Amino acid sequence: MTHLTLESLDVRHGQLKAVKDVNLSIAKGEIVALVGANGAGKSTLLRAVSGAHKLTSGRIALDGKDISGLQSFQRVKAGVSLVPEGRKLFQEMSVEENLVLGGISGRDGSWTVAKIFEAFPNLLKRRNAKAATLSGGEQQATAIGRALMSNPSVLMLDEISLGLSPAAVDLVYASLTAVKTGTTIVLVEQELTRAMQFATRIICMLEGQFVLDRPGQDVSREEITAAYFGKRGGAH
């Protein structure tokens, strides 16, 4: 049974159809990278799966159970967690408060505040600092930690390298690699190299649709780039 299934997903952004008739099956433990130009619909798709954005039509199933009707906080309890674009930390709260809040859904699992600090040691000395005072890399680490606190079975990450220095991105991905053990991950990543290094499966989106969906080892950079820009011959 697939872990996460999307069936005929249509998502509107105002009057614009941001996601058009998307079908996707993800198996447990897969790491899927969503690539594509700005405005291709990647963020909207993640937000729709997390419940932050309303579905126009279609169905989302987790372990076979339909979660399309659940609100976002209910989906977190079901095991779907999103690290949103732009981090969206609670600015007036400290790192620790943000993390503690992340655990509010009360799901069973091994993540605790202490373990998060182990995984992201650069956060430990900033545990009482207000989120607004953190550097980009620290904010990203906190946001990921906050999502991990819900012990998700599906972790979604939206553009975690956005606005970060290359060194900071390295750090974040290093930590992610250490923590990902067995979690199903869907991430939106603009940097193709990183996406190919980190993911087991690459999906390219263009104008709301999937134009490429291949296992990471079977696809070349050139093929992805072609699909990215909409040149023919990219679809599988």
Partner 1 sequence: MSPAKKSRPPISASVEALIEMLSNLIQAIFLGGYYAMIACGLSFMFSVMRIINLAHGSLAILSAYLLFVLASKFGINPFVGLLIVIPLMAAVGWLLQRYLLDRSARGGELLPVLTTFGLGIVLDNLMFQRFGADTRSLAPYIGDLSWDSYTLPGGLFVGKLQILILVTVISVIGALQLFLRRTQLGRSIRATAMDPDTAGIVGIDARRASAAAAAIAMATVALAGAFLGMRATFDPYSGAPQLLSAFEATVIGGLGSLWGTLVGGIILAVAQTVGASVHPQGFLLGGHLAFLLVLFFRLYLNRDTVLAWFKRRQA
Query: Could you list the residues that contact partner 1 (CB under 8 A)?
Result: 50-52, 71-73, 76-77, 81-82, 84, 88, 90-93, 97, 100-102, 104-105, 146-147, 150
Look up tokens 């296992």; give the residue.
215
Give the residue with the Cβ less far from partner 1, 147 or 187: 147
Residue 139 tokens, joined? 């904010």
Give the residue with the Cβ less far from partner 1, 27 or 104: 104
Q: How far is the CB of 75 from partner 1 (least distance, A)?
A: 9
Q: How far is the CB of 90 from partner 1 (least distance, A)?
A: 5
Q: How far is the CB of 46 from partner 1 (least distance, A)?
A: 10
Q: Determine the Cα–Cα distance for residues 68 and 183; give it in Å rounded to an integer.
A: 21
Q: Determine the Cα–Cα distance for residues 141 and 158; give it in Å rounded to an integer.
A: 13
Give the residue with the Cβ less far from partner 1, 133 or 165: 133
Give the residue with the Cβ less far from partner 1, 3 or 146: 146
Measuring CA to CA, how many Å separate 127 from each of 66, 94, 111, 230? 38, 7, 16, 45
Long-range own/partner contacts, residues 175-179 (CB < 8 A, 24 or more apart) = 175/119, 175/120, 175/141, 175/144, 176/144, 178/119, 179/119, 179/148
Q: How far is the CB of 93 from partner 1 (least distance, A)?
A: 7
